[in-house]
Structure 1
């Protein structure tokens, strides 16, 4: 038989045939699909309404409070920093997981076919664009609603549309870089941008007054919209042209990472999610002798220091964790609301704790190296707490001291550090999810009933250790009694954290 040229495989034809076969075997009707779409739109509308009402109420509450004396940063700037921080995280995530990848099914069935890869992967590109659109809306909406003056509906629409177009342009650029295998620098660059965006305003707001206030564009809106539309269209067209050059091996590897990350996110397994998206540890540029290592516990400390030194992003996380409370305390409106500053403290110190928890997480995943040491399990866990304690004493003391502008605040922050150090070890040695017991039905699927305990293990004691600092923020002062209570309370929580982690070591 001679092949019929009209029946030649094309990427679009394969995707269409697969879609038709899936629809023929599916038990979902158009009525069900329409109901799902209507439900999704309803949920989106409710979320927008809740966000708008919450930001409106918060804006009125902030306006009613007297301005704090030490606030020098405009609220628009802090909102922009928060958006840039989230956007950098999304860009880094896309650069590591894609943005174009092949799921295990796609790699097994589609890639070996004699069809153009550009047409086969166009659906993956479209899905990534939709993810970017949703992320842009989620990031831009709070920023627009956080303006000091209540924005109008057209202003909200313009701001969100600009964010969507920029997100689509970023996806196109990332795909072009992926085709040329040049995405290795994107995640470190995004991390550096996020670090600078948080640290610089915090430092400037502490030593002086920030003079520049973000405002609307200096060019007419129609011209700006035309430029953004042209930029997004050019980037997406370029991305569509280069998808055919993507190697099958690279697509398969990234698809496997996406599959693991998706499954981990749906099952709320943050440990496996962190492994799928873990930051690489760079090899040392020069040989270190570690001449001071004489005892087994010192070898554990040296290993923890080596992990921290060889991962530049960990240092960025520590800098961001230190600067976030300062940024909130220096922002007009936020600095006068102790509850918001306390939230920034918990978020910032949690980021620093996650950065310092990599050795404990690795030791829990591969305990063979620790078992080879002439140390008991209790001594190993205690040694694991030394580096986090030393680092968090510095982070918490600088962060609280600069935010509160006083040595008493620095001492209170340092007194809180042991609780967070214990939380680092406790969280690193937390058990895996137990799927052998009963499961709980959730919108994302079945999850173990113990998932909540696993998720908050470590963070729970860190937040409890921050209670004295929160009391100090509410009082506006640090009495000597509070400082003594904070130190004792923090040491007690650290002891509980280490002892409970030993049972899992």
Structure 2
């Protein structure tokens, strides 16, 4: 049988269709941006499986949680204000009123907000939005309006809440005055974010916007120290009249209009980068991963290209190379440098406010400021935990690497301790003794920084616990406690010295011993806790007994 006969055979003939697979069709009108947003939302809701009842329940739960949290915070602030002792005798010409300190905190919050807005965008498109929306031939402004409104509204709400808590809780101002202060704070906070969005639309780099916020955050405590030196203070938080508050509304609306008109000018690359950083930060907050949150905020404002390269002349071998790497990481992060300086000035300010210059207030200032400063010094260790390139390449033992990782945090915390404990010594009328105690406690801070940086990740494969932020592993609290546990236990002599307002030789010797123990604990490469180790030992004993 020939090929032609085979093709003509019954049941074997192939029907060839010469018609095109895609028939001509009429091109319709390009959908509007609003319809595309609605379609995306409907598709996401269809796959999410959430009903209207669950949505209303979630909103109700969020509102109740915020109200309860605000009430608890207000009650705590009022209780703290009621328990504040009368102005003690602070043997120093430096004095600062509580209202002035609140003003300084508000200015610092404004700087932190501007820095955060610069690092997050503030306008961005992440995930599927960046992959699909930005390439569509539609008006980009309509696509980005929800993202442009989200952060200003959130900033206004949080700003009003925080300032109201400070004004009503610590200063006990009347209700109408608190309402006026909170309204002004909400408008100013929203305006700060809108200004950052205007800068983003004008192709101002996120690094420049974040740097402006860091500078404002840095100047706030420095200005407070200068005001305390010259003896200038305020008796209450400056409040604008109602007509001025009402006049701020059209200004904020005008800024919002400017941002809306310029949304189409924001480059796609900037939108993708901002959306990626925001998504990474939100995921870190939900999973309670402070290391990932720090990486998102730091890398989001990092310079893509360095104008000059350091010769790294201090890297002469494996040991000095590791120390130099940590030093370069800290030096290149303006946020961490500002964080370290601001944390050093916190005990200075607290010890100059008569209402706060009590043993409990000074102790809390030392612990909180020290923890913030410690977090700033551990960036090199955190990066090494994520990508242990140098740790694996250099011919160094794992324990030696961790000890070397403590060098830069120890040097930075030594400078912090000199400033902070000198302020405490001025408060306690014994500057040399307190500086000696601060120097003796420096290894504890460095050990806590390294221990917290190398902590293991939570076990997401085990049992989970339902929380307002979603399901979390049962051992997440134990993981987060690695690092702060050394601060709590390793600084017991500092606790006793501050509460007794005195420093003696036994406390100094005890602090030295605890510092050595803290360094030994942080040098360990074991990732399991003591409780887990004991439970494993018991299980092994039971297994051996069964055999």
Return the TM-score normalized by structure 2: 0.83
1:189-248 per-position Cα deviation (integer Å, ceiling 9, x unaligned): 21121112123323653x55334555434x6x1331133112211111111111122222
CA contact (8 A) 2:111 2:215 kept: no
After superposition, the Cα gap between the structure-2 partners of 1:32 and 1:502, relative to the gap in structure 1 and judged at 3 Å, is closer
Corresponding residue of 1:437: 462
Larger radius of gyration: 2
Corresponding residue of 2:124: 101
The question of 1:297 aligning with 2:322 is answered no
Corresponding residue of 1:335: 357
Matches within 5 A, 1:336-355: 336=358, 338-355=359-376
The question of 1:184 aligning with 2:204 is answered no
After superposition, the Cα gap between the structure-2 partners of 1:147 and 1:224, relative to the gap in structure 1 and judged at 3 Å, is farther
After superposition, the Cα gap between the structure-2 partners of 1:194 and 1:214, relative to the gap in structure 1 and judged at 3 Å, is farther
After superposition, the Cα gap between the structure-2 partners of 1:59 and 1:300, relative to the gap in structure 1 and judged at 3 Å, is same
Q: Distance in 1 between matches of 2:402 and 2:528?
A: 10
The question of 1:404 aligning with 2:425 is answered yes
* 1:374, distance to aligned residue in structure 2 (A): 2.3
* 1:66, distance to aligned residue in structure 2 (A): 4.2
1:48-78 per-position Cα deviation (integer Å, ceiling 9, x unaligned): 3323322222222115564544461111122
1:108-133 per-position Cα deviation (integer Å, ceiling 9, x unaligned): 33222222110111111222233212
1:268 paired residue among 272, 288, 313: 288
The question of 1:133 aligning with 2:153 is answered no
In structure 2, the residue corresponding to 1:230 is in which secondary structure? helix
CA contact (8 A) 2:381 2:453 kept: yes
Corresponding residue of 2:485: 460
Corresponding residue of 1:240: 260
Q: Distance in 2 between matches of 1:228 and 1:147?
A: 26
* 1:289, distance to aligned residue in structure 2 (A): 5.3
Q: Distance in 2 between matches of 1:245 and 1:186?
A: 18
Q: Distance in 2 between matches of 1:20 and 1:436?
A: 32
In structure 1, the residue corresponding to 2:135 is in which secondary structure? coil
CA contact (8 A) 2:201 2:266 kept: yes
After superposition, the Cα gap between the structure-2 partners of 1:415 and 1:122, relative to the gap in structure 1 and judged at 3 Å, is same
Q: Distance in 2 between matches of 1:284 and 1:428?
A: 30
Higher mean alpha-carbon deviation, 104-113 vs 227-236, is at 104-113
In structure 2, the residue corresponding to 1:396 is in which secondary structure? helix
Q: Distance in 2 between matches of 1:485 and 1:140?
A: 42
1:265-306 per-position Cα deviation (integer Å, ceiling 9, x unaligned): 11112222222222537847354352x654421222222222
* 1:320, distance to aligned residue in structure 2 (A): 1.3
1:210 paired residue among 221, 227, 232: 232
Q: Distance in 1 between matches of 2:331 and 2:380?
A: 12
The question of 1:472 aligning with 2:497 is answered yes
2:275 paired residue among 241, 255, 258: 255
The question of 1:320 aligning with 2:345 is answered no
Higher mean alpha-carbon deviation, 374-383 vs 116-125, is at 374-383
CA contact (8 A) 1:430 1:501 kept: no
Matches within 5 A, 1:487-498: 487-498=512-523
The count of aligned residue pairs is: 496
The question of 1:84 aligning with 2:133 is answered no
Higher mean alpha-carbon deviation, 20-29 vs 443-452, is at 20-29
CA contact (8 A) 2:122 2:151 kept: yes
Corresponding residue of 1:57: 79
After superposition, the Cα gap between the structure-2 partners of 1:31 and 1:293, relative to the gap in structure 1 and judged at 3 Å, is closer
In structure 2, the residue corresponding to 1:210 is in which secondary structure? coil
Q: Distance in 2 between matches of 1:474 and 1:306?
A: 38
CA contact (8 A) 1:401 1:408 kept: no
* 1:81, distance to aligned residue in structure 2 (A): 2.3
Corresponding residue of 1:414: 439
* 1:498, distance to aligned residue in structure 2 (A): 1.8
After superposition, the Cα gap between the structure-2 partners of 1:305 and 1:503, relative to the gap in structure 1 and judged at 3 Å, is farther
After superposition, the Cα gap between the structure-2 partners of 1:335 and 1:121, relative to the gap in structure 1 and judged at 3 Å, is same
After superposition, the Cα gap between the structure-2 partners of 1:30 and 1:80, relative to the gap in structure 1 and judged at 3 Å, is same
2:510 paired residue among 469, 481, 485: 485
1:345-393 per-position Cα deviation (integer Å, ceiling 9, x unaligned): 1121112212211121122222232322222222222222222222212
Q: Distance in 2 between matches of 1:278 and 1:247?
A: 21
In structure 2, the residue corresponding to 1:103 is in which secondary structure? coil
For structure 1, the residue ranges without an aligned partner over 5 or more in a row are: none
Return the TM-score normalized by structure 1: 0.90
After superposition, the Cα gap between the structure-2 partners of 1:493 and 1:222, relative to the gap in structure 1 and judged at 3 Å, is same
CA contact (8 A) 1:171 1:236 kept: no
CA contact (8 A) 2:284 2:293 kept: yes
Corresponding residue of 2:379: 358
State the Cα RMSD in Å.
2.7
Q: Distance in 2 between matches of 1:24 and 1:294?
A: 60
For structure 2, the residue ranges without an aligned partner over 5 or more in a row are: 1-24, 530-547
Q: Distance in 1 between matches of 2:175 and 2:503?
A: 44
